[in-house]
Structures are given as structure tokens and as C-alpha cells.
Amino acid sequence: MTRYAANFGAFHIRKWFTQVEEILAGETGAAADGAPLIKYMIGACIKNPYAGNYVEDLSAWIEASPVLGVEFGRRINALTGGAPIESYGKAILVGIDGEYEHGNALLTNPAANPIRDALGGGASWVPSTGKRGVPGTILDVPFGHKDALYVRSHYDTMSVSFDDAPNRDEVIVCWVFATRGRLNARLGGLRAEDAEGNGLT
């Protein structure tokens, strides 16, 4: 077995990360208008076989990525006990020997669609971000309502970081999930309960 032999489908995953926040009150102390807001992050630290090189064709990573989506979906349902998720987002953090494009190859629809399936559907596109960085780099990952992009109450962010990753030749792929919108959201617009699951409506 080589040092970086595949151990998860076509990928070599060094470790998984999980982060959970439970928010009971707003920044000024106002109590939650209903249930607490729970945010989850799941991340995978993956060896980047393209690090240090320009490779024109990244389709091998894209085509292999659904297995990651299936596992992210399994993990979020295990973490929540199957509790409903209302919003989501995704991000990549690429070690400095890699290209930003390398990480983006793992955020396309082939990887995302199994996660939508695990959540019982998601009509809206998934907000995303990313950067190149080193261990301890902070990612601010955006949320959007999973079924209707313009639900203002669900615009939010989760800040995440990783203590020993990525190495120079690694990529972290992470997804965030939330059980509801911001506490005491009051900016008007389309309400979550009125969203029809038609994507951008």
C-alpha cells in the first residue's frame, strides 16, 4: 500500500471534521423566536493528487465525487438524527500547493445532488465559497434556504477552521447545514413557510 492509497472511493481522506453550534439567543440577548438555531459543519480533508501541477482535465475528480456527496448526506442525517434541515452551504479550503480550481471540482452538482437527496430534496442552488490557505485558516461559509434562494431569514454564515489541515497537498471540502433561519429575523420578504420549492422563487 502506498502512502496515499485511496481509502474512500477514488479519494484518500486523512480525516473528517464536525462542528456544531446551538444558538439560544441573539447577539443582544433576545430569546429565540421559537426553536434554537442549530448549525452543523461536516468536512473532509482529502489528498490533492493535482497539487503542484497544472492539469487541464479535472473530470476524474468530478466523476468520482458523488461518493463524497453520499457520505456527507449520511453523516448529516446521523448527526441530526434525521431532524429537518432548512438551509445549506458549501466551501473548499485548498492547501497552498494546489489550485483553487482543484477544490471547486468537488463542489459541482455530481457531489451536491446526493446531499440534496439525503435531505429530502433541495430545489435551490447551494451558496458556496472557498480559498487557498493553511491550518487555522477561517472559512466563512454562506447559507441559503435549500428550496428557495430568496428567503431572507435564511441568509447566514458559519465560520469554521481546522487545527491541522489542510497540508500543502490537501483540500478540505466542507458543507454546512442549519435547522432554521436566523433568530428573530425581521427583514421581510419571502417567508420560509411560503417557499414552494421552485428554486429561485
pLDDT along the chain (201 residues), means of 10: 81 97 95 95 98 96 97 97 94 98 96 95 94 97 94 96 97 98 83 56 34
DSSP conformation letters of 1-66: --TT--SBTTB-EEEEEEEEEEE-B-TT-PBPSSSPEEEEEEEEEEE-TTTTS--S--HHHHHHTH
Domain that holds residue 175: 13-21+32-181
Distance of CA 66 to the CA centre of its chain: 14
Give the pLDDT score at 200.
44
Give the pLDDT score at 1.
41
Q: How many domains does the chain have?
A: 1
* Half-sphere exposure at residue 74, Cβ-oriented, CA atoms within 13 angstroms: 6
User: Phi/psi zone of residue 184: left (φ > 0), alpha (ψ -120 to 50 degrees), beta?
Assistant: left
In a domain, 145, yes or no: yes
Write down the pTM of the prediction.
0.92
Q: Which of 106, 103, 85, 11 is nearest to 41 (CA)?
A: 85
Q: Which of 117, 112, 123 is nearest to 89 (CA)?
A: 112
Give the pLDDT score at 186.
87
In a domain, 192, yes or no: no
In a domain, 175, yes or no: yes
In a domain, 47, yes or no: yes
Residue for grid cell 435531505:
119
In a domain, 26, yes or no: no
Separation CA 54–CA 85 (nearest Å): 38
In a domain, 45, yes or no: yes
In a domain, 27, yes or no: no
- Is residue 190 exposed (0-12), middle (13-18) or buried (19+ Cβ within 10 Å)? middle
126: domain CATH number is: 3.30.1330.110
DSSP H or E segment with residue 131: strand 128-133
In a domain, 59, yes or no: yes
**Helices (runs of H) and strands (runs of E) counted in the chain:** 4, 7
Please provide the distance, in angstroms rounded to a whole number, between the alpha carbons at the two ends of the chain: 51
Give the pLDDT score at 75.
97
Task: Please provide the size of the chain in residues.
Answer: 201
C-alpha cell at 180: 432554521
